[in-house]
């Protein structure tokens, strides 16, 4: 772990434990042990295939709330990849890819606004 992260976590210890989100290689028990060693709580999706995350993390009500929020964010990116055609980009270059992403995000917001407006109050 980097020295900056360690200093930040040590200065935050008196208040509460820092929550550190881990994506990708989150099932690595060695990585999770190192995160706990510096005083942080690892936050990864609990999967059946890997038992690296245990009840120390999943027992808290905040973990369940965080998983619900994470699912909501993943749904947006899933929509962008399938409906918004971001799975295989047709443009190259940072400016064009950025434009495509922003345009797709705006389209998602419009669809979401339509859905919310159609709901009865």
How far apart (Å, rounded) are the C-alpha atoms in residues 81 and 88? 8
Q: Considering the domain boundaries, does residue 78 fall inside one?
A: yes
Tell me whether residue 64 is in a domain: no
Angstrom distances, CA of residue 106 to CA of 40, 76, 99, 109: 36, 12, 11, 5
Q: Are residues 38 and 2 in the same domain?
A: yes
- The answer on pLDDT for 84 being more than 80 is yes
Residue 14 has pLDDT above 90, yes or no: no
Q: Taking 90 as the threshold, does the pLDDT of residue 33 lie above it? A: no
Q: Domain containing 90: what range?
A: 69-121
Number of structural domains (the chain) is 2
């Amino acid at each position: 772990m980097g020295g900056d992260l360690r200093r930040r976590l040590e200065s935050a210890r008196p208040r509460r434990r820092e929550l550190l989100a881990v994506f990708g290689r989150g099932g690595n028990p060695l990585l999770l042990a190192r995160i706990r060693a510096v005083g942080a709580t690892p936050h990864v999706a609990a999967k059946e295939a890997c038992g690296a995350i245990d009840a120390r993390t999943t027992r808290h009500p905040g973990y369940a709330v965080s998983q619900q929020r994470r699912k909501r964010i993943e749904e947006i990116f899933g929509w962008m990849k399938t409906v918004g055609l971001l799975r295989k980009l047709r443009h190259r270059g940072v400016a064009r890819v950025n434009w495509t992403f922003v345009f797709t995000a705006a389209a998602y917001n419009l669809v979401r606004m339509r859905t919310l407006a159609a709901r009865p109050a």
